[in-house]
Each structure stands twice: as C-alpha cells, then as structure tokens.
Structure 1
C-alpha cells in the first residue's frame, strides 16, 4: 500500500463513525465482477490485515491470493473523491 493509498483509506474510514477504528475491506467477487471495496469496523475472522501508516486494509482469501503481488495506490481528488488502482510490486 502506498502512502497515498494509506491516506485515502484513513480519510474514507474517518467518514464512517461506526468504523472509526476499522479499515477498508476488499472482497473478491469473482472473475466477472472483480473486487468489492467497503468500510468495515473490523476484519472478518479469515481476513488478512495489511497495515501501513495507520491505515488498515482487510483482504478476504480470494483478494489476498489475487493481490499478493500487487500494490494498492490511490488518487485523491480536490473534491474529496478517491480512485484506487493496483500496480505491480517493484
């Protein structure tokens, strides 16, 4: 997870009071749909937790396997919007 992605995750999570100590959960919804991202107050029991700069990302088993060699990055818009992207690890 890049520093920009960590800041984006923290910004998104801070907007959801019931998930203030939580993170962003990425779930693999299959080859046709890709990944689903949501704010979660805590990881599910089988999630892998990735922490960077105080941000937490929870990966379900499918996402963990599919994203093992990838880096989560983000672009922050001036209007507060966030756009996530995946890049190859260097």
Structure 2
C-alpha cells in the first residue's frame, strides 16, 4: 500500500486546509489513463471503492487503478516558501 512521508502528510494537510468546504477531506489521486499519469484533486470524502491512506491525520484517497499502480510507492513532497508543493513518488524500501 502507498505510504506517505511526514513532509507529504504536512503538504496534504496544508492543501486541504486551503479549501474550507472540505476541511475534513483529503487529496484524491486517480489514474488519468493512458500515459497521462495521475490526477490530484481535493475531495471531501473518498469514493466508495477508494483506498484511504492516513498518516498523521493527512488523508489520501486512491482510486482502484491508482491504488494498484502505487502499491509499492512512497509519496513525498517538497514545500516551497511561497506555499507551492511538488509531490514525488519513490520506491518503498
């Protein structure tokens, strides 16, 4: 199952906090299909078949395809001083 670093968890919490309507929500990752990669969005709740990953209160919702594709991955993030976030995926040890 996908895991998150502490930095990624903090980034997810910061992103969700920017959207008052989904204050208890999370970041949803879905497989956009073909070779386009993954699509991230803020969601109030997971979809019925989503896998939910929780680290330090940060929630990430993975659609079925993304959950399979990211099963052996670690989600990390880089936080910039201007508030922007850059996510990266690595392999689990």
TM over 0.5: yes
Distance 1:75 1:29 in 2: 23
Equivalenced residue count is 90
| Runs of 4+ that moved beyond 4 A | none
Aligned counterpart in structure 2 of residue 14 of structure 1, from 9, 17, 23: 17
Is 1:31–2:34 an aligned residue pair? yes
Q: Quick check: 4-13 or 27-36, which moved more? A: 27-36
The runs of 5 or more residues in structure 2 that have no matched partner are: none
TM-score when normalising by structure 1: 0.98
SS of equivalent residue, structure 1 residue 65: helix
For normalisation by structure 2, the TM-score amounts to: 0.95
Cα displacement (A) at 1:30: 1.5
Report the secondary structure of 2:81's partner residue.
coil
**Structure 1, unaligned runs of 5 or more:** none
